[in-house]
Structure 1
Amino acid sequence: MRKSFAPPRTPGRPGTPDLLSGRTVTSSFSAEWLRGDPRALAFLPDRFRHKSARAEAVAAAASRTVSPALLEALVARNTRLAPNPARERNLELLSRPGTVAVVTGQQVGLFLGPLFTIYKAASAIVAARTLAEETGRPCVPVFWLQTEDHDLPEIDHCFVPRGTGTPLRLSLELSDAATSRIPVAHRHLDEGVTRALAALKAELGTQPHAGEHLELLERAYRPEATLADAFAEVLASVFADEGLVFLDPRDPRVSPFAAPIHRRALEEAAAISTALASQGSALSEAGFSEQVHIRPGSPLGFFSPDGLEGARYRLDPAASPGTWSLVGHPDNRFVTTAELLTWLEREPLRFTTSALLRPILQDTLLPTAAYVGGPGEIAYFAQLAPLYAHVGLPMPLIVPRARFRVLDDRTRGLLEKLGLSPDEATAPRDELLARLAAQAAGEGFDPPEAVEARLMGTLAPELARLGQCMAALDPSFAHAIERTEESVRTALSRLVAKYGRALGQRDQVTLERLDRLRAYLAPEGTPQERFYGLPYYACRFGARAFTRMVLEACEPFSGSLKDLRP
């Protein structure tokens, strides 16, 4: 029986929008959820925190099995990687009834993309170990290669920190990156990767462990290789001892298993989108925004009309019943439901999932006990309860990935010279610069915050006194006082900021050190783990040594930020 679509509704306060990884997400949902805010827990319970709930999730997943045909496809895909006893053991475990999976995944970025790819994989491995220890059931870490997407500008580059403070950007330089709609599974690296590797070698070639890691990258990232194959080869090597298993949804042997999901999404699109829209409204009422916008009647999928490796287009209902528009198609093409169902029968690889449909495919294919995700993924799982209920699947545990900040010797040296803690170093640049400059300037230059406090401390009591005197004569005068005080505070803040910048410019050495430090910890205002890739850290400390440090530092079911000191 189909379950109710009714979403949880709780009173709440307004949320604040934020940007993560280039996409609009709720600034507060994942943070409030991790803090245990009842508003967030009404949409996504924090079952990952409770041992009994973890055991229930494992037991529910253990009732499902990997079909022999899917297991055969998984074995074939993983056999393309270097032989690995740990991975072969995990594949054998997946053939046994009662084995469960901890899944994570990521787009297949250049040179593994941002550092959080490593943190995700490590989090899944550690969570799988912990669930196995807690329940006595075999638990296998699985990495979902997100190869269905077509957004090349998100994945065609990698950043490397440099001592100058200006990061090095490496790119595939694909001419059609901004306009391509072809799933990245079918994109070859081409000659741009040769130039990117040469730039990487020129920058990092003298580092202690550069030879080993650059050799691995050169073996995997060949011009004729695909983004997906190169990514999987390097990540498999980095986590060889842990036996990470890989699943690629663009594998032709996997696509038949996706066909029933796409069929149902098409045939029940109206009911599904209505339920998801209701959930979105409830999120909004609670003070959160939708991670993924719901379009009325959308089947949550994409279709490639020109072939398996052709451009993909989102399906939206057209004015004529039983007809769908291919959103963004240069010829404004339409397709009927009958045509789509025929193609789905013949060539299911013409269909790809959206962010909201992918988890349903994942948990239909695998006995998923837990999914390890980042802030954005946590936010869209908050939307998914109605969809899981509709298809009759239990939602797995949603587990926050580990978060790390790497403080290498260079970063630690800069922190020590500037007298800052890592947390203090992430404050606004002007504020930090003014504080540091005031400390070094000696007598005669007070810190900016002290100047602002003194000036406001003189004016505020006078304004309050004036307001009290005028209250009896003109009750509206209090509002004028409030507006004046607000204007004065704004003007003073601007003045003090200028004062701080002037102090900061007096010490060029401090300025340069601060900029280098911030480039290591928060390049371009972005958390380090979302910006820099693995190559710098692998070449300096060794890929295996670095990932071992990450694995040892992972606290299962935590999600808190930790500092790594290699």
Structure 2
Amino acid sequence: MLFYGVFCGVRERKVHLNVIFRDRTVKNFIFTRLKILIYMMPDACVSYRKTGYFSKLICDYVEQEPVLKPFYNRFPEMGSFKEQLREKQGSYSGDTRQVLADALERQYAHTVMTAETSSNIHALRSENTFTITTGHQLNLFTGPSYFLYKIITTLKLARQLASEYAGYHFVPVYWMATEDHDFEEINHFNVHGKNFCWNRSSGGAVGRFSTDGLDEVYRLFAAELGPGASSEFLKQLFEKAYLEHDNLASATRFLVNELFGEYGLVIVDGDDRSLKELFIPYAENDIFRNVAYRSVSGTSEALKEADGNYNLQVNPREINLFYLDEGLRERIGKAGDTYGVVDTDITWSKEALLQHLQEEPQKFSPNVILRPLYQEVILPNLCYIGGGGEIAYWLQLKGFFEEEKVPFPVLLVRNSVLLVSAKQRSKLENLRISPEALFLKRDAFINKKVREISDVDIDFTPQKKHLQEQFREMYELAEKTDKTFLNAVRAQEKKQLKGLDKLEKRLLKAQKRKLSDQVIRMTEIQNELFPGQSLQERTVNFSQFYEQYGKALISLLLDELDPLKGDFYVLTPQA
């Protein structure tokens, strides 16, 4: 008997079965078992909505609910990019291309570029070249593993577009959030359940932070890794990135380039004077005309009216720029006719501020509202790839982009991944746990599985239906008497149904005790895959998987993920 195959919701895989049986009963039994095995294999795709980990807004977006159509330009489908190309090509100038390419070459001056990345930067000078972009904070050693998934989604979409649209060139871009100042969000990463944290004082743009003090983090991290070539690579990667580079921006550039340079990834640092010069007119509109505040406020209200269950991610300010200086990134505000930097003694008149912006644009840093516009002004970009929270706030920006006459990019929710080892996969198969069940919250997960494996029917639904049928006759009788008797019948029905609920819960509890061994094993495997009852990709650092699978991990993800199929992947890499 020969059997091989994998179940996955995003593409068909054939199962070949060559069996000769004389006994039809045996044959049917084995076929049934194989069907169970195919279903139980954890390589699968689960819809975002079924996972329970994504907001209603994001689930509605990926399912193209009509109510959201006014809040985006084009949905991420292969055919949508034809018009997106035309629109961007008509608004993005050749001069901007040259400024961008020159800036990138300067930014890479102290980084060993791969031939693929060098070729992509050169290609950006041509009018038929466009970018596919993702962005992320400068998390220490990439932080949670979804850092990788964002970039891999970007690489894969660029490949797919190149295959579909001959005559155009598509460059994958990672935008480093070097100007972010939320150090507590990026100063740690988790491996094997241990948190490795960089303790230092915060203040100013994180990209400019000195890497002093990371030698101790390296010592602890290196001690945690086991033997083997992949572990040695990870140690050297950390050491060369953080102990041989002076600041966090250059360290992150080195690290990401080492992992993805061979795929042509281009890394952009927006903390750049020449790029900021391109943004001066839009910064003026924000400071002196409050364009973003008015536009985004209006769109946000419309989004809330579209569905009261949508949670807004960002709230615009009248001025959405920070002021950058050594050790400082603080927002700019206005009091009367005077502009100033909050919590400092830096102030300007309107004329002085306008002159300062013209002379030193590098000191003005866009906040979460303006950063997307800044990105789209300086890049020939077609699509932005982000997590659920990011795409949610991008959906508040379309009106703002229209007012600024900048094409609004296609918005794509990045691929999400749950990595399951071969050993864990075997446990899941033995326990008959489906991929969908894994995403249930703890109590719901245990209750569902106990009901499935129990040799006693714990579902009292038939008894409840029978009881309600009996009470129908009582209601008919009650209607012939008075209202007080009718109320008494209702109360008695409610009491007895509640009693059945209590009995059902007690039976379930009793079965949990009886099946305690299976319950413990099910709980353990879910804890392994959902540490702290959170998504693995939001907790565990990529090095935990790279240590086991090595470079093949990235190759597998590039092969398996499909950016345009909005599902959550459950994958088992081959070691």
Contact conserved, 1:190 with 1:224, CA < 8 A, in 2? no
Contact conserved, 1:111 with 1:217, CA < 8 A, in 2? yes
The SS at the match of 2:377 is helix
Q: Give the drift of 1:332.
A: 9.2
Q: Which amino acid is the alignment partner of residue 423 of structure 1?
A: E
Report the Cα distance in structure 2 between the residues aligned to 1:482 and 1:323, rounded to whole angstroms. 69
Match of 1:3 in 2: none
Contact conserved, 2:130 with 2:382, CA < 8 A, in 1? yes
The SS at the match of 1:292 is coil
Report the Cα distance in structure 2 between the residues aligned to 1:236 and 1:494, rounded to whole angstroms. 59
Report the Cα distance in structure 2 between the residues aligned to 1:173 and 1:476, rounded to whole angstroms. 71
Q: Give the drift of 1:505.
A: 5.5
Match of 2:483 in 1: 474
Contact conserved, 1:158 with 1:170, CA < 8 A, in 2? yes
Report the Cα distance in structure 2 between the residues aligned to 1:476 and 1:376, rounded to whole angstroms. 55
Match of 2:254 in 1: 233
Q: Give the drift of 1:358.
A: 1.0
Match of 1:81 in 2: 111
Match of 2:15 in 1: none
Residues 111-166 of structure 1: per-residue CA shift (max 9 Å, x gap): 11222211111111121122222222111111100112111222111122x4xxxx
Contact conserved, 1:101 with 1:139, CA < 8 A, in 2? yes
Residues 507-546 of structure 1: per-residue CA shift (max 9 Å, x gap): 665455334322332222222222211111111110x211
How does the TM-score come out when normalised to structure 1? 0.82
Match of 1:43 in 2: 71
Residues 156-189 of structure 1: per-residue CA shift (max 9 Å, x gap): 11122x4xxxx22221133x4xxx4422112233
Alignment of 1:271-282 (within 5 A): 271-282=291-302
Report the Cα distance in structure 1 between the residues aligned to 2:395 and 2:144, rounded to whole angstroms. 24
Match of 1:144 in 2: 175
Q: Which amino acid is the alignment partner of residue 258 of structure 2?
A: S
Match of 1:8 in 2: none
Match of 1:245 in 2: 266
Report the Cα distance in structure 2 between the residues aligned to 1:314 and 1:524, rounded to whole angstroms. 35
Contact conserved, 1:280 with 1:290, CA < 8 A, in 2? no
Contact conserved, 1:437 with 1:506, CA < 8 A, in 2? no
1:298 aligns with 2:318: yes
1:393 aligns with 2:406: yes
1:201 aligns with 2:222: yes
Q: Give the drift of 1:91.
A: 0.7
Of residues 326, 333, 343, the one that matches 1:309 is 326
Q: Give the drift of 1:463.
A: 5.9
Report the Cα distance in structure 1 between the residues aligned to 2:109 and 2:488, rounded to whole angstroms. 73
Contact conserved, 2:468 with 2:493, CA < 8 A, in 1? no
Alignment of 1:43-442 (within 5 A): 43-51=71-79, 53-63=80-90, 64=92, 65=94, 66-136=96-166, 137-160=168-191, 162=192, 167-174=193-200, 176=201, 180-191=202-213, 193-206=214-227, 209-222=230-243, 225-269=246-290, 271-287=291-307, 288-295=309-316, 298-304=318-324, 308-318=325-335, 320=336, 322-324=337-339, 329=343, 336-434=349-447, 436=449
Q: Give the drift of 1:354.
A: 1.7
Q: Give the drift of 1:336.
A: 4.8
Contact conserved, 2:138 with 2:176, CA < 8 A, in 1? yes
Report the Cα distance in structure 2 between the residues aligned to 1:492 and 1:169, rounded to whole angstroms. 47
Contact conserved, 2:314 with 2:369, CA < 8 A, in 1? no
Report the Cα distance in structure 2 between the residues aligned to 1:497 and 1:439, rounded to whole angstroms. 15
The SS at the match of 1:42 is helix
User: How many percent identity over aligned positions?
Assistant: 23
Residues 35-84 of structure 1: per-residue CA shift (max 9 Å, x gap): 12111223225432151x21111222234244423321111112322231
Q: Give the drift of 1:409.
A: 1.7
More displaced 10-residue stretch of structure 1: 404-413 or 509-518: 509-518
Report the Cα distance in structure 1 between the residues aligned to 2:126 and 2:114, rounded to whole angstroms. 19
Relative distance call for 1:323 and 1:463 in structure 2 (3 A) is farther
1:558 aligns with 2:565: yes
Report the Cα distance in structure 2 between the residues aligned to 1:101 and 1:481, rounded to whole angstroms. 65
The SS at the match of 2:312 is coil
Contact conserved, 2:341 with 2:347, CA < 8 A, in 1? yes
Report the Cα distance in structure 2 between the residues aligned to 1:303 and 1:482, rounded to whole angstroms. 66
Relative distance call for 1:113 and 1:28 in structure 2 (3 A) is same
Match of 1:13 in 2: none
Report the Cα distance in structure 2 between the residues aligned to 1:535 and 1:253, rounded to whole angstroms. 36
1:545 aligns with 2:552: yes
Contact conserved, 1:415 with 1:421, CA < 8 A, in 2? yes
Match of 1:10 in 2: none
Report the Cα distance in structure 2 between the residues aligned to 1:486 and 1:245, rounded to whole angstroms. 66
Residues 265-296 of structure 1: per-residue CA shift (max 9 Å, x gap): 11220x4322222211111111153533434x
Match of 2:532 in 1: 524
Report the Cα distance in structure 1 between the residues aligned to 2:170 and 2:156, rounded to whole angstroms. 10
Q: Which amino acid is the alignment partner of residue 30 of structure 1?
A: I
The SS at the match of 2:84 is helix
The SS at the match of 2:162 is helix
Report the Cα distance in structure 1 between the residues aligned to 2:496 and 2:112, rounded to whole angstroms. 66
Report the Cα distance in structure 2 between the residues aligned to 1:556 and 1:220, rounded to whole angstroms. 29
The SS at the match of 1:126 is helix
Q: Give the drift of 1:108.
A: 1.1
Q: Which amino acid is the alignment partner of residue 554 of structure 1?
A: L
Relative distance call for 1:353 and 1:466 in structure 2 (3 A) is farther
Relative distance call for 1:493 and 1:406 in structure 2 (3 A) is farther
The SS at the match of 1:390 is helix
How does the TM-score come out when normalised to structure 2? 0.80
Relative distance call for 1:335 and 1:494 in structure 2 (3 A) is farther
Contact conserved, 2:101 with 2:122, CA < 8 A, in 1? no
Contact conserved, 1:93 with 1:138, CA < 8 A, in 2? yes
Report the Cα distance in structure 1 between the residues aligned to 2:352 and 2:475, rounded to whole angstroms. 74
Gaps of 5+ in 1: 1-15, 21-25
The SS at the match of 1:246 is strand
Q: Which amino acid is the alignment partner of residue 187 of structure 2?
A: D
Report the Cα distance in structure 2 between the residues aligned to 1:85 and 1:398, rounded to whole angstroms. 29
Gaps of 5+ in 2: 1-48
The SS at the match of 1:344 is helix
The SS at the match of 2:133 is strand
More displaced 10-residue stretch of structure 1: 82-91 or 198-207: 198-207
Rg larger for: 2
The SS at the match of 2:435 is coil
1:33 aligns with 2:61: yes
Q: Give the drift of 1:392.
A: 0.5
